Structure 1
Amino acid sequence: MCLEFLNKTYCHHLKTKVMKIFNTTLFVFLFMLLVTPAKNAAGQEYTRDTLVMGQGYANDLFYSFANGLVKEEPRKNWDIAFYTPRFSAGIMINQGAGVILYTYPNGDTNAWATVDTNGLSTWKSMNNSVNIWEEGAFNANQSIHPDYGWCIYNGITHDLIGDSLYVIKIADGSVKKLWMIDKISIQNIYHFKYANIDGSDEQIVEFNLVPYETKNFAYYSLVNNAELDREPLSGAWDLLFTKYMDSVPDMEGNMQLYPITGAANNVGIGASHFYPVGPDFTEWGLKPFVDEKNIIGANWKYFDNSTFTYNMVDSTCYFVKDTADNVYKLKFVYFDYMNGSLALDKMLVSLSAIDDNVAEVPSMNIYPVPATNMITIRFNNKVTDNSQLAIYDLNGRNVFSQSISGTSLNNGATVSVNLPAGLYIAKVTAGQAVYSQKLLVR
């Protein structure tokens, strides 16, 4: 929901990203065409992680494929959250804690003193977007620019001016009236106020989001009248295991919003779902990654009414591109609703490029691509030291080592590797310098 005056900046950024994606996609295309299922012989294995949310799914779990559990936070310790980019209007509510938001239908901001809840049961509640983090419940009524739901964009100052009143049921069950007054976009500061319906216990808040700009959201508790720093750094996690609202089919197949417990992708994290597939399936390049938060969701499990347990959906798996652009295969093993525990198996199936921004003429070339039992390594920069070649599989195991003279590297050193088909990382240490490159073996 970026504002229009930033479009040119974003277009330039997009163009740069497209070129990067093209180079990565070309490599993936060759990999998918030429590598057979035997690539698992390169030593790829599952790693199992067990996570516990607690009874009633009491805790949110921020999870990283590379590092496991990153942070655990009480699920009900916040009511509203602000998307941290300066030129965003995104504000979401904690639907997993039972927070419900209504747009007050009987007046605009001039009616603050006279807000009542007559007819509340007939009012339509506002919901967070099921697939876009930035589009929260406060943005649900947005139409077209400059209307962003709770506010109108000022094209001169670039500020956001609140034009609506809200009634909100918060995490402790109490009901408040709330007015998002404005956002000073350049300073990344929100002003809002809330009170009991009768006007008592009014709180006027200036919320500076600058300290939270390395996170996706800045959180606020209307119960405790306090801001919260509850997220890890944006790039430190991949999935959030939590309770939230998602679209699920009813008995007649119609999609309805319903509270579910599952996995939400971090902002910008792409995932894909494959079903039905065999247990050794790793052809992740057959589908594009989609960076929507509910791609994984809760559809990997179903409740068995005869045993009162959750079973895992058979023949299904996910692939996730993490914050470092590594690709993991994800399979869920079990889910126990009694204590909110779950287990997942993960497998690293593709490493990100060592450096996607290298110059057009790299320091080291390895060919042919793909390789078979023989590879040639050639340096473009003159090497005088004897060097060491080490090849690693996707699990980081050293599967091949050999010393190579610097002179032969300058002219092109041919090495017999005899590795199983798969994707590897070749590293050459020459003196104090270390050179790395992907190695594809057919």
Structure 2
Amino acid sequence: MKKSILGFFVFLGLVTLGCSEEDNTSTPANAVAFVNSSVNVVQDNTTVNLVFQNPTAAAGSITLSVTEVATAYGVDYTTVPAAQNSTVEVPFAANITSASFTFNRLVEATEEQIKNVSFTIMAVSLAQVEIPTITHTIQLNFDEAPITLATKSPSIGGPNVPNQVYFDFSSGVETPVERTKWDLGFFGGNEFRVAINGSLKMAVKNTELTDITVPVAIDNTVAVGEGGGSGVSNGNPAYVDGPNGDIALTAIQAVSATDADNKVYLVNLGFGLTNVAPNVGSVNPYGDARGWKKIRVLRSGNDYKLQYANPEATTFSEVTISKNSAFNFTFFSLMTNQVVAAEPQKDKWDILFTPFTNLTNFGSGLVSYAFQDFIVTNRKGGTRAYQVLNSAGVAYADFSLTNVVTANFDLETSVDQRVIGSNWRNGGGPTSLPSVRDDRFYVVKDVAGNIYKVRFVAMSNAAGERGNPTVEYQKLN
């Protein structure tokens, strides 16, 4: 398998270019760097990207020096292009903003064995391409020692938000998943619970029927709320999963061992993706309605048995879905009729970037409502987090392990998967666009006990397009 380490180059604070705004040089300055200082190699083949600040003026090459720790070229790893005399020449074309090479891991590190290879930018063949004093070296770790410092831009895909992105702080690995890939999640823990895909504005209603061959009428009130103020329509909280992430609060009741207790649900499949670009600074994550299904879920020993059909149908399809305790959920697509891979193993991710169905109050009680630029913590896998305001007295740069309040990880607010949620950014208004809040950051503890300070430094790219956030984090222990 091949894993791509995608670089999002944040130059502000990283690179100081040689020309001021008043300079009138004919050739603009440029720079090239790695974004992250360390990456854990979890696949046999890894594409490592280098990113330019501006499109290249001509074709050329980047010279990388190689430093090995308990590794040898041709024994533990190789590269494409091949290394010669402890250097790698990475070619690039004209008018591009990135170049790459492939790192091939030939062996894995054994337990407690430290093996890594570092690549450092030594020279660029083009004039006026500068090398920053930081992020000019990347260390590829054979072991899974937690990354200590990194900046990441998850591959959400821009303002149409085609992807949910799972991210793991300790490995630096992101897992983008197209949002329409799955519809139902079957819980892998002790409880028998089924989740719905809130990133698509899905909703479900208990019909109280137990016979799935009985036709079910479509009910348009089974939907996520729309509008605002007194104009909010639909949005019954009973039709969506509890947004705090408590598995006991799924909209579909616990699957009983007694078949007669398991009801038929009407399922609004929500909305698909769209390619229609929104105005700059806005998002447009929802396309056409995906239609309706009816489902009934039973137990099959320690597994699930899913029955599903179109609402008007008098026959149904049936599939057995096995529990897998290594994952929070096993996912199923009602569109492709298949079990699909989506979320990583439950101990291999910490936060999820996703559109999200939350509950909010517009003045007449709680209603379901779709939130964008939302960040979910891995509550079911054991991730915990809490928010720190700069006004509390310690700024992000000065925050260290001695400032961590471990008791905060036991608070209900830290367990709630919405602890970061949309709190990291301003929502914007009639005369302003959404923006990152720079008055706060987060302390995150993963399931292995690693503690990180985390802050969000961008929610848009240089062109102002949403769906391009950037997160910075540092390990504290």
**TM-score bin, normalised by smaller chain:** 0.5 to 0.7
2:470 is matched with which residue?
343
Residues 6-155 of structure 1 aligned to structure 2 (within 5 Å)? 47-55=150-158, 56-85=160-189, 87-104=190-207, 107-110=208-211, 112-117=213-218, 124=236, 126-135=239-248, 137-139=250-252, 149-153=253-257
Q: Distance in 1 between matches of 2:405 and 2:364?
A: 30
Instruction: Please give the per-residue CA displacement for 1:183-208, whole angstroms capped at 9, x wherever unaligned.
Output: 13xx4321121111221673111212
CA contact (8 A) 2:213 2:316 kept: no
- Aligned residue type for 1:202: F
Preserved contact between residue 162 and residue 179 of structure 1 (Cα < 8 Å): no
1:263 counterpart = 2:346: no
Using a 3 Å threshold, how does the CA distance of structure 1 residues 46 and 233 change in structure 2: closer, same or farther?
Answer: closer
Helix, strand or coil at the partner of 1:76? helix
Q: How does 1:287-306 map to 2 (within 5 A)?
A: 287-289=407-409, 290-305=414-429
- The aligned runs of 1:166-181 (5 Å cut-off) are 166-171=265-270, 173-180=290-297
CA deviation profile, 1:195-225 (whole Å, cap 9, x unmatched)? 112216731112122xx33111100010111
Q: Contact conserved, 1:127 with 1:136, CA < 8 A, in 2? A: no
Q: State the alpha-carbon separation in 2 of the partners of residues 176 and 68 from structure 1.
A: 38
Of 198-207 and 165-174, the range deviating more from structure 2: 198-207
Cα deviation digits, residues 321-347 of structure 1 (max 9, x gap): 012201111111111283411111212
SS for the counterpart of 1:135 is helix
Q: Is the 8 A contact 2:182 2:342 kept in 1?
A: no
Q: Answer yes or no: is the 8 Å Cα contact 2:193–2:255 preserved in 1.
A: no
| Secondary structure of 1:72's aligned partner | strand
Asked whether the equivalents of residues 452 and 474 of structure 2 are also in contact (C-alpha less than 8 Å), the reply is yes
Change (3 A) 1:307 1:286: farther
2:186–2:329 contact (8 Å) kept in structure 1: yes
1:244 Cα deviation from its structure 2 partner: 1.4
Equivalent position of 1:245 in the other structure: 357
The 2-side partners of 1:255 and 1:325 are apart by 35
Given that residues 78 and 222 in structure 1 are in contact (C-alpha distance below 8 angstroms), is that contact kept between their aligned partners in structure 2? yes
Gap regions ≥5 residues in structure 1: 1-43, 140-148, 155-159, 351-442
In 2, the alpha carbon distance for the partners of 1:118 and 1:49 equals: 42
Whose radius of gyration is greater, 1 or 2?
A: 1
Aligned-pair distance for 1:307? 5.8
Alpha-carbon distance in structure 2 between the residues aligned to 1:273 and 1:123: 29
- Residues 206 and 346 of structure 1: CA distance in aligned 2, closer, same or farther (over 3 Å): same
Give yes or no for contact 1:112–1:165 (8 Å, CA) kept in 2: no
Normalised by the size of structure 1, how large is the TM-score? 0.58
**Paired residues of 1:73 and 1:230 also in contact (CA < 8 A):** yes
In structure 1, what is the equivalent of residue 82 of structure 2?
A: none
Alpha-carbon distance change, 194 to 304 in structure 1, aligned in 2, over 3 angstroms: same
For 2:443 and 2:365, locate their aligned partners in 1 and report how far apart those are by CA, in whole Å: 27
Instruction: Report sequence identity in percent.
Output: 20
Instruction: Say if 1:233 and 1:82 are closer, same or farther in 2 by CA, change over 3 A.
Output: same
Aligned residues of 2:268 and 2:291 also touching (Cα < 8 A): yes
What's the secondary structure of 1:66's corresponding residue? Answer: coil
Seen in structure 2, the aligned counterparts of structure 1 residues 79 and 111 have a Cα distance that, compared at 3 Å, is closer
Contact 1:263/1:298 (CA < 8 Å) preserved in 2?
A: yes
Looking at structure 2, the residues matched to 347 and 239 of structure 1 have their Cα atoms a distance apart, in angstroms, of 15
- Read off the aligned partner of 1:81 and give its amino acid letter: G
**Structure 1: 4+ residue segments shifted above 4 A:** 118-125, 252-256
Q: Is 1:285 the counterpart of 2:398 in the alignment? A: no
Q: How far is 1:292 from its partner?
A: 2.4
Q: Within 1, Cα distance between the matches of 2:434 and 2:175?
A: 25
* Counterpart position of 2:228: none
**1:132 aligns to what SS in structure 2?**
coil
Contact kept in structure 2, 1:70 and 1:236, CA below 8 Å: no
Q: Structure 2: which amino acid aligns with 1:116? A: A
CA distance in 1 between counterparts of 2:427 and 2:205 reads 32
Counterpart for residue 194 of structure 1: 308
Give the CA RMSD over aligned residues. Answer: 2.8
- Residue 131 of structure 1, CA deviation: 1.4
Unpaired runs of 5+ in structure 2? 1-146, 223-233, 273-289
Deviations 1:84-134 (A, max 9, x none): 12x312211002112221111xx4214742422367568955111111252
Q: Structure 1's 118 and 330: CA in aligned 2 closer, same or farther, altered over 3 A?
A: closer
Q: Cα distance 1:249–1:319, how it changes in 2: closer, same or farther (>3 A)? A: farther
